[in-house]
A and B are shown apart, each in its own frame.
Chain A
Amino acid sequence: MTNSQQETDASPLEGPITGDKLLESFPRYRDPEDVTVLERPGREAETVSNEELLEPELAGPLEHDCYVHQVEALEALERGENVCVATSTSSGKTRIYALQIARNYLEARRRSAENERGDSTAYVLYPTKALSRDQERELNDFYDRLGLDITVRVYDGDTERGTERRQIREEADVIISNFAGVNTYLHDHDRWARFFSACDLVVIDESHTYTGVHGMHVAWILRRLRRVLEYYGSEPQFVMTSATIGNPGEHSEGLIDEPVTVVDEDGSPKGPRDIVLWNPPPRAREDGNAGSEDGGERADAVPDEGEASDAVEGVIERVPATVESPKLLSHLAYQNAQTLLFTPSRKLAELSVKRASQHRQDRRRHYTDPDRGSAIEPYHAGHSRQKRHGTEHQLKNGLLDGVASTNALELGINVGEMDATVQMGYPGQRQSFWQQIGRAGRGTDRALSVLVAEHRTLDQYVVSNPEFLLESDVEDAVADVGNDAVFAQHLLCAADELAIDERDAGSFADRERLERALEMWRRAGKLTGVLETGVSYRGPPRPQSTISLYATRGEEYEVRLAEGVDEKHDPEMEPLARERVYRDFHEGAVRLHEGRQYEVCEVVHDGPRPHVTVRPTDVDYYTVTQSDVTVLDATSEESRGIGDFTLHYGRGRVLVYHGTYDEVGVHGGKRRAQGVPTDNPPLSMDTQLCWLEVPREVERELVEKYRNFSVPDLDSELAETPHLGYAAGLHAAEHATIGVAPLELMLDKRDLGGLATLTIDSHLDRGAGEESAESADGTTQSAAPGDNEPKNLAAARATVRATAAELERTPSSGWFIYDGIEGGLGFSKAIYENYETVARRAREHIADCECGRVDGCPACVMDEQCGNDNQPLHRGAAIDVLDALLEAEDSEGLEVSGSEATAEPDEETSAQSEGRRPPLFYS
């Protein structure tokens, strides 16, 4: 590559576009350091002759032989196993269950000839309605080709009520729906008797999407579905199809609560692929002079610049991916490469099409034939079904040169294969990354995928650690059923569907948990009866309607448009969980949704339909909530040592007070109005958490090492203590651990929170041991609930401080990570189990950051949600703590007993010599 790229005509190059060709032809100077080309080799198809696998009736009409993974899956199904197929995009996963349905159908036909039950049905569940319609067509076409009379029908919220629904229930062989539908329809299961009695297969397509809150609801809906199917005498097999995730087996088994055979050896052919990691050029200091960008200025200037300016602006600025990616879309389309651009919002999908065309005009000398490759359209769920159909069709038939789409095209809608993909920013997860780029690749032709990095933590991590993408591990999906609040809601539904009895103990939930939940609901008057003879539901009709698939308390806030505002501004947002409303949707909040700004003008918490009212706005700031957090009464349920460190997992109460907010300028990030009250009450959550206790030895060393650290103007009487540097290290390590968790687990970091503290013990439930002894006789404590619960955050903090002052032993220091949703999501449990990996990532990430600042930058240890305004933070101390943890892991087993023995006698003296430790805690 040269530095003197000329502005010449970019005639389409010979052959398929490659990474190198892209670099050569793109009209602009590019710093070689900003672009990495990764070459991935192709792979031949591995197939097995259909005659060996399938009966002649099916093998005959099939055009292609089956790939080995399809064969493997079909064989496992033949053996009666449940299967999860986790292979790449367009590797023919649908064909697996389509063929299995056909096999079941033929089998049933044979039975019917022998006068036995002559029916076989399948319930096929997709994550979106759009996908349902798409697949209905695909499956019907497939069976037409096979010449089989199998009826495939969609049955969801859009299906006309009355006759049509009844007809589908009574006649269809395959019913396609989604989990919100299954949840609702289970209430009237008797109407589905025919379909359920004959059900041989349940398909969960794109099963990796069921993670977090949504995943746990789906897991319970599946358990309810299985109970009902069992009632009708059906024990169907399950087929799950998943994108490549880290734990397909564990995740699938968590969803359906049965053993699952994983098929992940991909036998479909793949052409070679170039993956280009594209960091946009630094932004010129003065905007506007687009033609004269001079990258040379960038290279070494950055760290110095960082020293000079304040925290936020010290970080270099680059051209945003939102501006850069449409240019690539435009360019690739010009190069005859049919290209799909993935954008994070509908608005950006629309905007990108305009920007792509603008790019041509700006570079007219370069793109001499203005009409070539200019058929570019947007695509997103906001378009009518008809319009989307049109676009899909035109893509398939090559009538379009490019499409800018939201992730609506990420999931399996059939649009054929592209030559290239461009991603506007890292999609957040490797799983998603691979799924999207899988859209490019025609047969065995070379495919091109460009990731345009945004200037933010994960993106910059990815472009500077390209090997990260290629590691075989992808994120783990978490579908946890440990949340008792969610379990309890589904238990009500299950009882409404069929009386809960002995058979459910140990299968729906373990007996102890089941008994406790039944007793809770009996006492609350919602259930009646006992396990022996059956427990019935007796609350308000249709408990299924209180399940909200995106929240844990059955309490969702609808997002409404203010009165008098034109419908077209309706943000069409999913309902919000209470926790989100408190944090991000207080009155006065300015939120960006799909590229449009909204102001929250009213929040109604009470009443049967809590809601948030928004109106469109156009201001040059956004709002950030300032939060106070503390943890109370944490109880350890599991713990393990990592060297001398101790890691706990358990439950506790987290009090969060999103008390004020700041208005932050969109440009430059300057804070304007600060500390505006939200008028929110504090939020109390019983949730799952994990915490790490740093050994005394490590603590002592680090307190000493960083004892001179101070933060000017830190608003705290404790700012002058020798512990500050160490505490800042814990705080930074806590932020970083949470920040990198999405690299390992499929989660939204906003669902996690943390608290670094010097006095872990004062956050624990100190009475836990005694209480359990007392309640052994089966009685409950006599105090009324909530009697000694602190009513507000200040009181809670005072409690923690008072507890700290009363502690007899010197407490441990460390940090908590909690699930920011009532009842928990299983995330802290997953982090507990993968702590070393997460810690290693966090350590790398802090150490590698270019910011060079002691207190870090937003790309490493600063967190926008920090309740303490990102103070105090200490990168060095954080690295030291994490190093100690990771070394401890390596040397595990060595001298453990020895160090414990020596630690104890030292304790008294150390506590005395350091003085009483301050009960510092930072979220």
Chain B
Amino acid sequence: MRTRDGPRVLVLSPSVLSSRSLTAFRDARAYFEPDFVLVHGPERAPQADARARHAFDVPVVHPPLMDAAEQVQRHSIRQGEPDRYSLLIARSADGLADAEPTLDRQLENTDSVAAVVCDDVTTTVRPTALETDLSYRSQLAAALPAGETMTIMSGGLAAGYDEVWRLEADTGAVLGVGTEGDDAITTPHPSTETAVGVRIVGIGPREGYGTAGSISAVTLGSADRPESGTADTTESGLADVTDVETLSADAFGLEAVSGIGPKTAIRLEKQGVTTRAELLETPIETLSSISGIGRQTALRMHQQARVLESGEPRRLSDEPLPGGTHPGSPLCLDIETDGLSPTIIWQIGVYDPNIDEYHAFVERSSPEDPGPVLERFCDWLFGVHPDRALLTWNGWRFDYRHLESFLNRYVPRYVDAWDGVAKLDLYGWAVGNENAVLPGRTNTLEDVSAALEYGGSDTGLDGAQTAAAYQRFIRTGTELEWDRHEAYCEDDCRALWHVYEQLRTAPKPAVDQTTAANDGTASTNESTTAGSQTGLGDF
């Protein structure tokens, strides 16, 4: 789980509430430690609401079922510190205008409102007209204070959506849309009293999580927004949404264990097994007598459940770690680009565990030319460490893939040397080749290293943010907080080594399990191994 200090709002969709087991919610409760639970609309779902109230011991609100007499309610988020953080929750968009006292009056009186929750707010994409519009924007423009930017959370939009719409205060006409700090929304000057800024944050079901659906947790905190071009300057004081973390709904409860899908979960439940702890208490023999579960699957379940319960990784084979036979430790590599379809690899970070040293190759001056930074990296790599292997986390999908493609294009003279480098990938070894079971709800490096208690420096950045910052630099020349962004990259390199070390010392399989692992006959049809889950958080 991400290391975030602020109070946390857990957002559940009615469909996830009705399809997952209560133990899964208890597990989610333990994982997220929410201060507040929101069952999002706009559909009325009384049963889901009831289920949430049953499963959680913190306040639960389902906006469509709020008291009709009170169109907008203010809810303090962390009990005990009532005036620090709160949400204004609207029953419906039409109710925004009927709020008593009016919305801007309520917002004027306090700095504690982190967001207005309104599930009716959504975007409408009309591809035939090449238009995306925001519903209820005239109502929003009328209800919200002019000259400011207010955050709206909506279950009508997928989690991951986070854009600022700048609207004309009188009409609701769209003046511009972008992320905060973008030219597109700052050119009509934002501070004028005629414009309303609305930051729309999606908290609804996110695409790409299959039939299980997704669960999101919203962290509140002090506003930390890069303003009008001056990126990364902190302006604190106002409460706001600082992070939305989304996980697959099947990362909780029994189904977090690979090999257990909904059908197996039901069969296990019939045997009285509803939690991972109970699963561990159930002997392999009993488990493998349940239809659909072979002996090998049962063993796997135990291994995985043990890893999740203990937070200790476990190796499944005697296979040496990647590079284990190579002289010296591998160099841990991570790159930063300006987007998922990169035009430049502007930072290449390498951590050398042998001498505990970190090297960063960063393009700080001429972002239009991707060549020099690659060249510097290659000069160093082939000049100083011609024989060392490289190590990444899922590098075949990203780091190696793009490095190779950029080298071909910009520094072809190093291509042959690059081909000769041993390129290792810890993720592929552990997850892809099933040599180990990792703790963590997803297989992202961030989650895995956090579960292995890697205590990095909290830069508050993620890949998308650092890419966006660099894009801004290319466009406007606005310098990044280089140190912070370099620290972020370094953190990933060191986290990778931490995971490597943990896996090196992790227990290896007992003899009988090795035999079982080679016996590939029994398995279930439901293959929900952590690696094959399609969640966005995974790869």
- Please determine whether B135 and A784 come into contact, CB atoms closer than 8 angstroms: yes
Please state if B340 and A521 are interface contacts (CB–CB under 8 Å). Answer: no
- For B172, give the chain A residue with the smallest CB separation: A782
Note all chain B residues with C-beta closer than 8 A to A783: 138
Asked whether A513 is an interface residue with its Cβ less than 8 Å from the other chain, the reply is: yes
**0 or 1 for each of A769-789: is its CB under 8 Å from B? (1 = yes):** 000000000011111111000
- Given A528-B468, A534-B471: A779 and B175 interface contact (C-beta under 8 Å): yes
Q: B536 to A540, Cβ gap below 8 A? A: yes
C-beta contact mask, B300-316 vs A, less than 8 Å → 1, else 0? 00000000000000000
Q: Mark B348-380, 1 if CB is under 8 A from A, else 0.
A: 000000000000000000000000000000000
Q: Which residues on A sit within 8 Å (CB–CB) of B133?
A: 523, 780, 784-785
Decide yes or no whether A517 CB sits under 8 A from chain B. yes
Does A562 reach chain B (CB closer than 8 Å)? Answer: no
Q: Is the CB of B161 within 8 A of A530?
A: no
B207 touches A540 (CB 8 A): yes
CB neighbours of A536 from chain B (8 A): 338-342, 467
Given the interface pairs A525-B160, A822-B128, the reply to whether A533 lies near B475 with Cβ below 8 Å is yes
A497 close to B131 (CB less than 8 A): no
Per the bound structure, the CA–CA distance linking A648 and B208 in Å amounts to 43
Question: Does A419 sit within 8 A of B, measured CB to CB?
Answer: no
**B270 at the A/B interface (Cβ < 8 Å)?**
no
Are A533 and B471 in contact, CB atoms less than 8 angstroms apart? yes
Q: From residue 528 to 542 of chain A, which have CB atoms closer than 8 A to chain B?
A: 528-530, 532-541
The answer to whether B474 touches A533, judged by C-beta atoms less than 8 angstroms apart, is: yes
Contact A529 B130 (CB under 8 A): no
The smallest beta-carbon distance between A188 and chain B, in angstroms, is: 9
Contacting chain B: which of A60-68, A309-317, A488-496? A488-496
Question: Is A533 a contact of B341 with CB atoms below 8 Å?
Answer: no
Please report the C-alpha to C-alpha distance between residue A495 and residue B342 in the assembled complex, in whole angstroms.
Answer: 10
Complex contacts, A537 vs chain B, CB 8 Å: 340-341
Q: How far is the CA of A651 from the CA of B342 in the complex (A)?
A: 37
Residue pair A496, B207 in contact (C-beta under 8 Å): no
Complex Cα spacing A193 to B415, Å: 13
User: Chain A residues with Cβ under 8 A from B341's Cβ?
Assistant: 495-499, 534, 536-537
Task: Write out the residue numbers on chain A whose beta carbons fall within 8 Å of the beta carbon of B125.
Answer: 520, 524
Expressed in whole angstroms, the minimum distance between the Cβ of A127 and any Cβ of chain B is 26
Binary per-residue interface labels of chain B (400-430) against chain A in the complex, 1 for a CB within 8 Å, 0 otherwise: 0110110010000000000000000000000
Known pairs A513-B130, A523-B132; A538 contacts B340 (CB<8 A): yes
Collect the chain B residues with CB atoms within 8 Å of residue A497's CB: 341
Q: Does A257 contact B (CB under 8 A)?
A: no
A525 to B133, CA, bound (A): 12
Interface centre among A533, A537, A539, A651 (most CB of B within 10 A): A533
Cα A726 to Cα B162 in complex, Å, equals: 57
Q: Determine the distance from Cα of A686 to Cα of B129 in the docked complex, in whole angstroms.
A: 8
Per-position binary interface string of chain A over residues 443-487, scored 1 when its CB falls under 8 Å from any chain B CB and 0 otherwise: 000000000000000000000000000000000000000011100
Task: Please give the distance in Å from A779's CB to the nearest CB on chain B.
Answer: 4
Cβ–Cβ contact B132 & A524, under 8 A: yes
Question: What residues of chain B lie closer than 8 Å to A782, measured between beta carbons?
Answer: 137-138, 168, 171-173
- Which residues of chain B are near A535, meaning CB under 8 Å? 339
B134-148, CB < 8 A from A: 134-138
B3 at the interface (CB under 8 A from A): no
Q: Is the CB of B132 within 8 A of A521?
A: yes
Residues in B with CB closer than 8 Å to A525 are 123, 157-158, 160-163, 202
Map CB proximity to B onto A249-263 as digits: 1 under 8 Å, 0 otherwise: 000000000000000
Whose C-beta in chain B lies nearest to the C-beta of A516? B130
Shortest Cβ distance from A252 into chain B, in angstroms? 27
Residue on A with the closest CB to B340?
Answer: A536
Tell me, rounded to whole Å, the shortest Cβ–Cβ distance linking B179 to chain A. 8
B317 within 8 Å of A (CB atoms):
no
Report B190-215 CB contacts with A as 1/0, cut-off 8 Å.
00000000000010000110010000
Q: Are B127 and A484 in contact (CB under 8 A)?
A: yes
Chain B residue with minimal CB distance to A494?
B341
- State the CA gap A488–B132 with chains docked (Å): 12
Report whether B464 and A522 are in contact in the complex, using a CB–CB cutoff of 8 Å. no
Are B475 and A532 closer than 8 Å at their CB atoms?
A: yes
CB-CB nearest in chain A for B177: A523
Known A499-B341, A520-B132, A521-B132; judge A780-B127 contact (CB<8 A).
no
Report B-chain residues with C-beta under 8 Å of the C-beta of A488. 127, 130
Contact between A517 and B163, CB atoms less than 8 A apart: no
A529 to B471, Cβ gap below 8 A? yes
Cα of A168 to Cα of B404 in the assembled complex, Å: 19
Residues 495-539 of chain B: 1 if any A CB is under 8 Å from the residue's CB, otherwise 0?
000000000000000000000000000000000000000001000
CB-CB nearest in chain B for A822 = B128
A823 interface residue per 8 A CB criterion: yes
Of chain B, the residue at the smallest CB distance from A496 is B341
Q: Decide if A784 touches B128 in the complex (CB within 8 Å).
A: no
> Shortest beta-carbon distance, B97 to chain A, in Å?
13
Is A687 positioned at the interface, with any CB of B under 8 Å from its CB? Answer: yes
Asked if A529 and B339 make an inter-chain contact with CB atoms under 8 angstroms apart, the answer reads yes
**B139 to A, closest residue via Cβ:** A784
In the assembled complex, A501 has its CB within 8 A of some CB on chain B: yes
Contacts A489-B127, A524-B123 given; indicate if A539 touches B207 (C-beta within 8 A).
Answer: yes
Is A190 on the interface with B (CB-CB < 8 A)?
yes
Is B124 an interface residue when CB atoms closer than 8 A count as contact?
Answer: yes
Write out the residue numbers on chain B whose beta carbons fall within 8 Å of the beta carbon of A608: 211
> A residues touching B (Cβ–Cβ < 8 Å)?
190, 193, 197, 483-485, 488-489, 495-499, 501, 513, 516-517, 519-525, 528-530, 532-541, 553, 608, 651, 686-687, 779-786, 822-824
* Sample (21) of A-B pairs whose CB atoms are under 8 Å apart: A193-B408, A484-B127, A485-B127, A488-B130, A520-B127, A520-B132, A522-B163, A523-B134, A523-B165, A525-B160, A525-B161, A525-B162, A528-B179, A530-B475, A533-B338, A536-B342, A538-B339, A538-B464, A608-B211, A784-B137, A822-B128
Q: A498-B341, A529-B471, A536-B338 are in contact. List 19 more A-B contacts (CB 8 A).
A: A190-B401, A484-B128, A496-B340, A519-B177, A520-B125, A523-B134, A524-B132, A525-B163, A533-B343, A536-B341, A538-B340, A539-B207, A540-B536, A686-B126, A686-B129, A784-B135, A786-B124, A822-B128, A823-B127
Among all A-B residue pairs, the 3 with the closest Cβ atoms:
A536-B339, A686-B128, A523-B132
